[in-house]
Amino acid sequence: MNTVEVIVEHAGKNLSAYIKDAPVFTVGNNLKEIEANIREAIDLYLEGNPNPCQTLSGELDLRFKIDAATFINCYSGIFTKAALSRITGINERQLWHYAAGVHKPRKKQLEKIQRGILSIADELSSIDVL
């Protein structure tokens, strides 16, 4: 299976996404829409190209890459800065700076955000609601 990185960026009032080394891009209002749209864009590209670029050949596993500011803003309806601070251990004010683009997080801070996301995802995926 070919792992393909989909780069997702903030684009005004919505999101944009593209695949490096492939002529495929899309826009959407949220990540679910981006995923559906990028899959459709890939299908359209493959339909019209008997010799697709190497990046899009074979079975594809899409991995979405999103910068910290876009993540914080995209999920602000789910994670308040206070909640994100609790799960990442990063100061709430610093998260506001990342979201506004005032500062870019260093590698160590990005790792804290990633660990926090994975931790809450793991916890939620182990719950069965009765």
- The contacts of residue 60 (CB under 8 Å, 6+ apart) are 1, 2, 4, 42
pLDDT of 44 reads 94
Q: Tell me if 17 is assigned to some domain.
A: yes
Same domain, residue pair 42 and 20: yes
Render pLDDT for 40-90 as a digit per residue (tens, 0 to 9): 999 999 998 888 888 998 899 999 999 999 999 988 888 899 999 999 999
Mutual orientation of helices 81-88 and 107-125 as an angle, nearest 10°? 100
pLDDT of 45 reads 93
Q: What is the mean pLDDT of residues 96-109?
A: 95
pLDDT of 50 reads 82
- How many domains does the chain contain in total? 2
- DSSP type of residue 19: E
Indicate the pLDDT class of residue 12, thresholds 50, 70 and 90: confident
Beta bridge partners of 18: 7, 25
Same domain, residue pair 12 and 58: yes
Residue 23 belongs to a domain with what CATH number?
3.30.2390.10
Pick from 10, 71, 7: nearest CA to 38: 7
Q: What is the mean pLDDT of residues 21-43?
A: 95
pLDDT of 1 reads 81
Same domain, residue pair 45 and 57: yes
Same domain, residue pair 99 and 118: yes
Q: Which domain holds residue 98?
A: 68-125
